[in-house]
Structure 1
Amino acid sequence: MSEISRVLKTFVAYLKRPDLYPELGRKIIKNTVNRKSAFKGKEKTNSWAASVAISQKEAVFKLFAINIEDFRDQYAEVLQSANRRERECPIKMGGPGALELIYYACEFTKAENMIETGVAYGWSSLAALLSLEKRNGTLYSSDMPYLAQDGDQYVGCIVPENLKKHWKLFRFADKESLPKIFAECSSFDVLHYDSDKSYNGRMWAYNEVYGKLKSGAVFISDDIGDNSAYQDFCEKNNIETTVVEYEGKYIGVFVK
């Protein structure tokens, strides 16, 4: 599909969904008026992240005093099934990230309520749910429909049925999903942010969710090298953060 065809298909799909009109307006502004600001501070943050980054294994041990080596063996069958379901999916979405970081953040906090933004295939959701189910916990997820790919039905497709009873998925942009989530749950043990990657989108969401995190909660944000939003947020709030290098990208994580 060409870029023009994709944009047109997305625009038409938005027009068919009045509940998504607010996000359509924001996207038009973001991709025209605010296009350059999306990458604000990118060089600064990538230089900083590269100078302080450690591995996922090192980060999990540093923050949670847990060795990650058991995860892949413990859940080998579940992960194999998830990989098979991803291969069978007819559309392309985001692949696995730092699963151990998410899983052990939930284990460390004994999480009962977690919030994530961005689902795609559902790899981060799966990692969280494997921990949350032990405590009959709930994962609250915000994810925009994949309008250009007719992909709504495949969001979260790798999550097995037995875990879905612990999962509440809100199919709107963050600015609509987060208030709906907060109306159901007012405090969280873990955040995993992986949605709007623009500078303004991140800063808005970081501030909204940070206030809902319990003391001792874990804050995780993917792809922090896209711009300086995460670095600026941490500096503004005097937060000492750990940076994880994972497959050539940077993840920010701290314990509140």
Structure 2
Amino acid sequence: MSEITRVLKTFIGYLKRPDLYPELGRKIIKNTVNRGNAFKGKEKTNSWAAGRAVSQKEAVSKLFAVEIDAFRSDYADVLHTAAQKEKACPVKMGGPGALELLYYACEFAGAKHVVETGVAYGWSSLASLLSLRKRDGVLYSSDMPYLAQDGDQYVGYVVPENLKKSWKLFRFADKESLPKIFADNAVFDVLHYDSDKSYNGRMWAYDELYKHLKKGGVFISDDIGDNSAYQDFCEKNDIETTVVEYEGKYIGVFVK
């Protein structure tokens, strides 16, 4: 698909969905007036992150006092089936991230309520749900429709059917999804951010999510090296964060 075709298909997709008009307006502003903000402070934060980054194994051991090795063996069959489903999927989305970090964050927090932004195949959703099912917990997810490709039917594709009863999926932009989620449940044990990568989008979401995180809960943000939003947020709130280097990218995580 050419870039022009993709943009045109996305625009038409927005026009067909009046409930997404607010996000269309924000997209237009982000890609015109605020275009330079997407990568604001990127060089500063990558230097900062590189100077303190640890491995996923080290982070889980330090923060949650457990070793991560059992995860891959305990859930070998589930993970194998999920990998086969991803391989067979005709639509390509983001692959699995630091699953152990998310799973053991839920275990550490004794999570019953988790919120995530960004779903794609649903790898992170799967990691959270594997922990939540032990406590009859619920995962709340925010994920924008895939307007430029016919991928909506594959969102959460790797999540097994037996786990979906504990999953509430909101198909809007974060600014519409999160208020709906917080109206349904106000306090969360674990928060996982992996959606709007822009500086302004992150700063808005970080503030909103942080307000709804319980004391002792875990905050995780993927791709913090895209710009300085995560670093600035932590410094503004005097948060001592751990930085995880995973597959060449940086993840931020802290316990409130």
| Unpaired segments ≥5 residues, structure 2 | none
Deviation at 1:38, TM superposition (A): 1.0
CA–CA distance in structure 2, aligned partners of residues 8 and 45 of structure 1: 34
User: What does 1:34-183 align with in structure 2 at a 5 Å threshold?
Assistant: 34-183=34-183
Instruction: State the partner residue of 2:184.
Output: 184
What SS class does the counterpart of residue 253 from structure 1 fall into? strand
CA–CA distance in structure 2, aligned partners of residues 142 and 123 of structure 1: 14
Letter in 1 for 2:205: A
CA–CA distance in structure 2, aligned partners of residues 32 and 152 of structure 1: 27
Deviation at 1:26, TM superposition (A): 0.5
What SS class does the counterpart of residue 39 from structure 1 fall into? coil
Instruction: State the partner residue of 1:232.
Output: 232
What SS class does the counterpart of residue 121 from structure 2 fall into? coil
CA–CA distance in structure 2, aligned partners of residues 40 and 114 of structure 1: 29
Letter in 2 for 1:173: A
Letter in 2 for 1:88: A
Is 1:24–2:24 an aligned residue pair? yes
Is 1:202–2:202 an aligned residue pair? yes
What SS class does the counterpart of residue 254 from structure 1 fall into? strand
CA–CA distance in structure 1, aligned partners of residues 121 and 63 of structure 2: 27
Deviation at 1:88, TM superposition (A): 1.3
What SS class does the counterpart of residue 148 from structure 1 fall into? coil
Instruction: State the partner residue of 2:214.
Output: 214
Instruction: State the partner residue of 1:193.
Output: 193
Counting aligned pairs with the same residue, the percent is: 81
CA–CA distance in structure 1, aligned partners of residues 189 and 233 of structure 2: 19
Q: Deviations over 1:20-39 (max 9, x none)?
A: 11101100110111111111
CA–CA distance in structure 2, aligned partners of residues 185 and 163 of structure 1: 19
Letter in 1 for 2:174: D
Letter in 2 for 1:204: W
What SS class does the counterpart of residue 14 from structure 1 fall into? helix
Deviation at 1:52, TM superposition (A): 0.4
What SS class does the counterpart of residue 163 from structure 2 fall into? helix
Q: Deviations over 1:183-234 (max 9, x none)?
A: 1000000000000000000000000010100000000000000000000000
- Report the TM-score when normalising by structure 2: 1.00
Deviation at 1:120, TM superposition (A): 0.2
What SS class does the counterpart of residue 148 from structure 2 fall into? helix
Deviation at 1:150, TM superposition (A): 1.4
RMSD: 0.4
What SS class does the counterpart of residue 250 from structure 1 fall into? strand
Letter in 1 for 2:184: E
Equivalenced residue count is: 256
What SS class does the counterpart of residue 178 from structure 1 fall into? helix
Structure 1 runs of 4+ aligned residues shifted over 4 Å read none
Q: Deviations over 1:98-144 (max 9, x none)?
A: 00000000000010000000000000000000000000000000000
Q: Deviations over 1:134-192 (max 9, x none)?
A: 00000000000111011111100100000001000000000000000001000000000
CA–CA distance in structure 2, aligned partners of residues 62 and 224 of structure 1: 20
CA–CA distance in structure 2, aligned partners of residues 93 and 146 of structure 1: 10
CA–CA distance in structure 2, aligned partners of residues 222 and 4 of structure 1: 29
- Report the TM-score when normalising by structure 1: 1.00
What SS class does the counterpart of residue 147 from structure 1 fall into? coil
Deviation at 1:83, TM superposition (A): 0.5
CA–CA distance in structure 2, aligned partners of residues 37 and 117 of structure 1: 20
Is 1:247–2:247 an aligned residue pair? yes
What SS class does the counterpart of residue 119 from structure 1 fall into? coil
Instruction: State the partner residue of 2:15.
Output: 15
Letter in 1 for 2:6: R
